Structure 1
Amino acid sequence: MNSTLQTVLASQDNDHTSHTQVFERATGIPWNQSVPADYLGGRRLSVVIPAYNVDYCLAAVLDALDTQTYGRRFEVIVIDDASTDTTSKIIATHPAVTAGIRLPGRRGAATARNLGTVMAQGETVLYLDADMVLPSNTVADLAARATDHAVLTGFRHNLPHGVAPPAAGPDLAADHRVTWRPPVNRPLLYSGITLREPIDGRPLNHTRDFRDLGHGRFYYDWDLPRMVVTALLAVPRATVLDIGGFDGEFGRIGWGMEDTYLGACLIAAGLLVVPLRQAVGFHLDPPDAAQQWRHKLAAWPATLQRYRALLKAPAPSGQATALTTSMNTLLHSCEVLR
């Protein structure tokens, strides 16, 4: 009988010290220092962006990709999840886009990312949200460090709609995985624990860059799968295909947990979760951010329930053929934008 995903997670370490040291010895560049402009090393990389009604920000996100300093070419695949605004027009006309596809009906970001992953030619897939503007060095820094053995996590600095990005660039401390001040006297959303006193949480620092989250351990409300956030995430494409990609059911239910489940499956497949502190993008909030957030939180209990159920199932593997077949079938019904 196969072990459950939760059991396998409890057996996996996340001490990535030797992994980062290999890169540093080979390049002479510290792990958390940017590579030089026009750096040519690293792996072939494909950026995959799911997009739904993001005409308020998508052009800025693509502009930033068009000005990356990485010396190697990389493809940008944008999947329009049946938007009702002018998102598809931006995809069809922006020069940074290598391939643009429009789904025939809304499927959710999980399915959009799966389709982009199957289409991708790179050894590494960089998942990027359609509202994340990247500094010019980010793609190079991720591509330079990508391997078959690591999930590279970046970070996000939220900007309210209409607020200009600070000239100093995005701030690592703005991410909740870096600076975290949870509520007291009510259950936390993920773990369900209740804190009775305020804490000054520092998940990234206090877990030694996630090393201490191996073997299924928690830092209050955080565990290792929850540190995997697809707003900015670089992963080996072959492993994503092997585990069957994202679970599309999360997109049907609502918001949340689809990237956490992907993280759990990648960790169970033996990958390390390694943060890259200089990989921080600006997350551009929509005009109706408060309303969207309330809508997302309303779906959280259902997506969390599905995630917990999947933890009791076997860790997925050997799913590449099935995923590729289903996505190629879907592709035949899509509109080619670019």
Structure 2
Amino acid sequence: MTHTSLADALKTQANAHRYVTAGFTERTGLGWHQPTPAGANAGGALSVVIPARNTAYALPTVLDALGAQQHAADVEVILVDDASADTTFEIARRHPVVTTAVRLAQQRGSGTARNAGARLAQAPTILFVDADMVLPSHVLADVAARAEADTVLTGFRHNVTHQVSPCGEPVLPKGPPLLSADHRVTWTPPTGKVLPYSGITLTDELNGRPLDATDDFQTLGYGRSYYDWDLPRMVVTALLAVPREQLVTVGGFDEEFGALGWGMEDTHLGATLIASGCLVVPLRQAVGFHLDPPDAASQWQTKLATWPATLARYRHLLSLPAPTARSNAFAAAADKHLIDAEVYTR
């Protein structure tokens, strides 16, 4: 039997989501990209899953921001500590916003941590949030009001250089996070160099606008690209909402990426969810401050050194059949990690 590869399956999937955004506005009277009033999503449910490793420098500020969210949704917060060497787990265990704190027995990578959190999640929508992302107070309401069974909702990030106040807290910029700070919105690629993801080389300077130029990612359907960007690459788990049933069906995150190094596990998840029929829809108002660690430069170099290996893994997975019916395998793999984990439930 011939199976369609994941790469070929992507070529069959459109991303025409205008009916979703227009339908939301017609039902609610709210603009799709408008911050959501707290009472607009009564009855919704979210499982916020936070993978964390050595993020004590940012985590109290991140969790305080979650505690300050203005929403009417039923929300649980699950933090999975990937065997940190600092006080990450103790911070999570003591913070009142965290309903479940998990500490994995061994470091496995962020994909494994997210899978473990998703295994414990009860809501139909899982919102993945990085442990260094500080969210404006409307973001949970934005997601809860707009989530559907076949949509992947992606937010954006505004990177903030590490700086602390006299009392040791991270210093945030004045004003709200800027959408334009995200590379998927404003992108200035190098010229005369091979771009490793797509393999293309740009000869002319480009003032790239991926989000605007693709009509909110719609024209990236059917496997098309905007220079170095395709639809799976727009799926970034720093702030990402996915339907839990679809996530489980495709098998969650491929955990091999964590063994190889950094990157591409969220792109691969995006590819599998798109191939399964999900639409990727941006939320322009959902932008968080992404707090750099104290040693950001050295961490970034370490991450980039492993990217060729994770990119090769991704390309290999694109050549295999699109994953389906993986629910049992997902549960078994996640349970294997959870059985040895320390779990604290409030």
Q: Same fold (TM over 0.5)?
A: yes
The aligned residue for residue 247 of structure 1 is 254
Give the distance between the partners of 1:190 and 1:42, measured in 2 at CA: 41
> Which has the higher mean CA deviation after the structures are superposed, 319-328 or 27-36?
319-328
Question: Which residue among 335, 340, 344 is the counterpart of 1:333?
Answer: 340
2:109 equivalent to 1:108: yes
Give the distance between the partners of 1:316 and 1:227, measured in 2 at CA: 20
Deviation at 1:260, TM superposition (A): 0.1
Give the distance between the partners of 2:41 and 2:147, measured in 1 at CA: 13
Deviation at 1:329, TM superposition (A): 2.9
Deviations 1:267-295 (A, max 9, x none): 00000000000000000000000000000
AA partner of residue 16 (structure 1): H
The aligned residue for residue 157 of structure 1 is 158
Deviation at 1:321, TM superposition (A): 1.4
AA partner of residue 239 (structure 2): L
For 1:178-217, list aligned pairs within 5 A.
178-217=185-224
Structure 1 residue matching 2:152: 3-state secondary structure: strand
For 1:184-333, list aligned pairs within 5 A.
184-333=191-340
The aligned residue for residue 25 of structure 2 is 24
The aligned residue for residue 167 of structure 2 is none
Deviations 1:181-220 (A, max 9, x none): 0011111121111111110000000000000000111100
**Count of residues paired in the alignment:** 338
- The question of whether the paired residues in 2 share the 8 Å contact of 1:184 and 1:196 is answered with yes
Give the distance between the partners of 1:258 and 1:329, measured in 2 at CA: 20
Give the distance between the partners of 1:43 and 1:233, measured in 2 at CA: 17
The aligned residue for residue 48 of structure 2 is 47
AA partner of residue 67 (structure 2): D
2:175 equivalent to 1:168: yes
AA partner of residue 329 (structure 2): A
Deviation at 1:248, TM superposition (A): 0.2
Q: TM-score, normalization: structure 2?
A: 0.96
Deviations 1:131-167 (A, max 9, x none): 0000000010011000001100000000000173223
Deviation at 1:42, TM superposition (A): 6.1
Deviation at 1:34, TM superposition (A): 1.4
The aligned residue for residue 137 of structure 2 is 136
Deviation at 1:22, TM superposition (A): 1.4
Runs of 5+ consecutive residues of structure 1 not aligned to the other structure: none
> Which has the higher mean CA deviation after the structures are superposed, 298-307 or 323-332?
323-332
Structure 2 residue matching 1:209: 3-state secondary structure: coil
Deviation at 1:35, TM superposition (A): 1.6
- The question of whether the paired residues in 1 share the 8 Å contact of 2:134 and 2:288 is answered with yes
Structure 1 residue matching 2:11: 3-state secondary structure: helix
Q: Sequence identity of aligned pairs in percent?
A: 57
Structure 1 residue matching 2:241: 3-state secondary structure: strand
Deviations 1:4-51 (A, max 9, x none): 000000010001011111111111111111121343336311000000
The Cα RMSD (Å) is 1.0
Give the distance between the partners of 2:85 and 2:279, measured in 1 at CA: 38
Structure 2 residue matching 1:180: 3-state secondary structure: coil
Give the distance between the partners of 1:38 and 1:278, measured in 2 at CA: 17
Structure 1 residue matching 2:340: 3-state secondary structure: coil
> Which has the higher mean CA deviation after the structures are superposed, 260-269 or 29-38?
29-38
In structure 2, the CA distance between the partners of 1:276 and 1:42, relative to structure 1 (3 Å rule), is farther
Give the distance between the partners of 1:165 and 1:288, measured in 2 at CA: 17
Which contiguous aligned blocks of 4+ residues in structure 1 show a shift greater than 4 angstroms? none
Give the distance between the partners of 1:41 and 1:310, measured in 2 at CA: 40
Runs of 5+ consecutive residues of structure 2 not aligned to the other structure: 165-170
Give the distance between the partners of 1:284 and 1:292, measured in 2 at CA: 13
Deviation at 1:332, TM superposition (A): 1.5
- The question of whether the paired residues in 1 share the 8 Å contact of 2:59 and 2:132 is answered with yes
AA partner of residue 156 (structure 1): R
Q: TM-score, normalization: structure 1?
A: 0.98
Deviations 1:57-87 (A, max 9, x none): 0111100000100112300000000000111
- The question of whether the paired residues in 1 share the 8 Å contact of 2:24 and 2:32 is answered with yes
